[in-house]
Amino acid sequence: MSLKRVEDYFIGRFTAMAGPCEILVDTDSPPRGERALELARQEARRIERKFSRYLPDSEVGRINGSQGQPVRVDEETAHLLDYAATCYEVSEGLFDITSGVLRRAWKFDGSDRVPAEATVAGLLPYVGWGRVAWGDRTLALPAGMEIDLGGIGKEYAVDRAASLIAAEIPDAFVVNFGGDLYASGPRRGGRPWNIGVDDPERTGDATIAAIPLTRGGLATSGDARRYILYRGKRLGHILNPKTGWPVEGAPRSVTVIAPTCVEAGTLSTLAYLRGPGAREFLEAEGAQFRIA
């Protein structure tokens, strides 16, 4: 965890949720910078711990280990599951938090290893939110199925951290958890924050655009960091839960701006899941976006 001054703002960094996290605070007061960083880190850790699929005693771990028994969840989890259900419904099944089991077949390590068709097909019966009984704060997950809130959790953590910081710190700030971010408002002097969009070809080394952002959430979906090369094609890590295969023909990256990070993240994922139809979808939704 580190906090340093850059020009006239502070930037704090830590690692959480399997990625680099940053917080930018437009202030001259180091204690306020510290406090914002501390709040962001606490909240990121809390959410990671609570919803990690790797921890058996997390909410998600408990559900995944339920062996088909109904599990009663707490309120926060219930809200996340409600949200996931809405996403499943509006995406007509493309956005599915049960698609994580497919990862047993796919390893997105930049290599060209593609699983056998039969392996993928063998996993498909364990995919589908439609098979899950959810209601009255109780989830019954058929044995062998798993849920993964990774597709929502990071954005949720961004918005949660942002609202906690906003309640304590008067300064403008940006919360950025692994590229999903939220800006709280204009910087001193009314300036926007400048958000670079990562170049999918040279990830981490270059940006392809700068987006001025004053207030709201911004999230990007794409194959920049995790992909597989198959017959000369890059297959991104986002899988189509209906086929079990990576989405084909999708743009390299889809960046969406929305009032909250959760909404931006969901929209960018939904767009990406539509493959070549991403642009059309976002245009029809009247969203603010950028496609590479």
What are the residues binding other proteins (CB under 8 A)? Answer: 46, 75-76, 79-80, 82-83, 86-87, 89-91, 156, 159-160, 163-164, 166-167, 170, 211, 257-260, 262-263, 266-267, 270, 282-291
Query: DSSP characters for the chain?
Result: -EEEEETTEEEEEEEETTEEEEEEE--S-HHHHHHHHHHHHHHHHHHHHHH-SS-TTSHHHHHHTSTT-EEE--HHHHHHHHHHHHHHHHTTTSS-TTGGGGGGT---SSS-----HHHHHHHGGG--GGGSEEETTEEEPPTT----THHHHHHHHHHHHHHHHHTT--S-EEEEETTEEEEESPPGGGPPEEEEEEPSTTTTT-EEEEEEESEEEEEEEESSSSEEEETTEEEES-B-TTTSSBPSS--SEEEEEESSHHHHHHHHHHHHHTGGGHHHHHHHTT-EEEE-
CB of 13 to other proteins, least distance (A): 22
Please, which residue, 120 or 213, has the CB nearer to other proteins? 213
CB of 118 to other proteins, least distance (A): 35
CB of 119 to other proteins, least distance (A): 32
Please, which residue, 123 or 282, has the CB nearer to other proteins? 282
CB of 233 to other proteins, least distance (A): 26
Q: Please state, in angstroms and rounded to a whole number, the distance separating the CA atoms of residues 270 and 127.
A: 18
Please, which residue, 75 or 205, has the CB nearer to other proteins? 75
CB of 124 to other proteins, least distance (A): 25
Please, which residue, 120 or 282, has the CB nearer to other proteins? 282
Please, which residue, 110 or 259, has the CB nearer to other proteins? 259
Q: Please state, in angstroms and rounded to a whole number, the distance separating the CA atoms of residues 13 and 204.
A: 16
CB of 253 to other proteins, least distance (A): 14
Q: Please state, in angstroms and rounded to a whole number, the distance separating the CA atoms of residues 23 and 11.
A: 6
Please, which residue, 34 or 76, has the CB nearer to other proteins? 76
Please, which residue, 115 or 216, has the CB nearer to other proteins? 216
CB of 256 to other proteins, least distance (A): 10
